[in-house]
């Protein structure tokens, strides 16, 4: 078995690579942790960014179902769910003109209501059921945008897929 020292010697001889033992990391201080939290906060995606990811997956879901590619539709449904939960974790409660609004409660109601119906339609390979439940979910999404006083974030049935590299036909 090659020992570590032997490997280092070999590397040095063969390639002139000098391998130095890593300096032990200094123990974190309260200050260094605060700085790190600040840094992470400054690079963390905001809720609107997470929402673009919700829209990306919900958009592709439409085209997967139109092509009757049910496994792909199931994939995009799962991703929509996961991204919506992520978006909610970023800012679970938002300030509006009349006080605070609990976004998580709205999202959970949509997930267990219309989005669950979309999933049933996918499982049943039911085109008409899909169109109806997808549209209902979209109105639910829109409802939240109105609740957060951004009614101009109006949603429509997508006109082209968000992803051009995925082949939607099964
Ligand atoms: C529980 C509330 C809620 C639900 C449900 C919701 N949204 Fe949003 N949406 C938001 C918030 C909050 C923003 C970001 C507003 C901001 O930060 O200015 C947003 C923004 C957006 C944006 C604009 C993002 C951008 O920056 O360009 C899109 C697109 C969007 N949502 C699509 C959807 C879709 C599609 C669904 C349903 C699958 C959905 N939303 C469901 C609250 C919600």
Confidence at 23, pLDDT banded by 50, 70, 90 = confident
pLDDT at 44 exceeding the cut of 80:
yes
Confidence band, pLDDT 50/70/90 cuts, at residue 10:
low
Cβ neighbours of residue 86 closer than 8 Å, sequence gap 6 or more: 50, 53
Task: Report yes or no: 62 and 157 within 8 Å, Cβ to Cβ.
Answer: yes
Ligand 1 center from residue 20 Cα (angstroms): 50
Cβ atoms within 10 Å, residue 110? 20
Pocket test for ligand 1, best of 45, 47, 50, 54 (most atoms within 8 A of CB): 54
Report the C-alpha gap between 51 and 80 in whole angstroms. Answer: 10
Cα of 89 from ligand 1 centre, angstroms: 13
On the question of pLDDT at 21 being above 70, the answer is no
User: Is the pLDDT score of 6 beyond 80?
Assistant: no
User: For residue range 126-138, what is the model confidence (pLDDT) as tens digits?
Assistant: 999 999 999 999 9
- Locate 53 and state its tokens: 């990811």
Distance 130 CA to ligand 1 centre (A): 21
């Amino acid at each position: 078995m090659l020992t570590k020292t032997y490997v280092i010697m070999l590397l040095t001889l063969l390639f002139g690579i000098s391998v130095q033992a890593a300096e032990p990391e200094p123990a974190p201080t309260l200050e260094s942790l605060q700085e790190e939290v600040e840094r992470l906060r400054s690079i963390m995606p905001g809720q609107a960014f997470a929402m673009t990811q919700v829209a990306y997956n919900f958009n592709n879901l439409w085209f997967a179902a139109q092509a009757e590619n049910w496994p792909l539709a199931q994939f995009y449904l799962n991703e929509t769910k996961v991204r919506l939960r992520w978006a909610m974790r970023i800012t679970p409660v938002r300030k509006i003109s009349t006080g605070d609004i609990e976004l998580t409660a709205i999202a959970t109601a949509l997930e267990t209501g219309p989005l669950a119906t979309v999933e049933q339609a996918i499982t049943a390979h039911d085109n008409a059921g899909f169109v109806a439940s997808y549209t209902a979910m979209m109105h639910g999404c829109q409802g939240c945008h109105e609740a957060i006083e951004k009614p101009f974030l109006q949603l429509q049935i997508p006109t082209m897929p968000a992803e051009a590299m995925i082949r939607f036909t099964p």
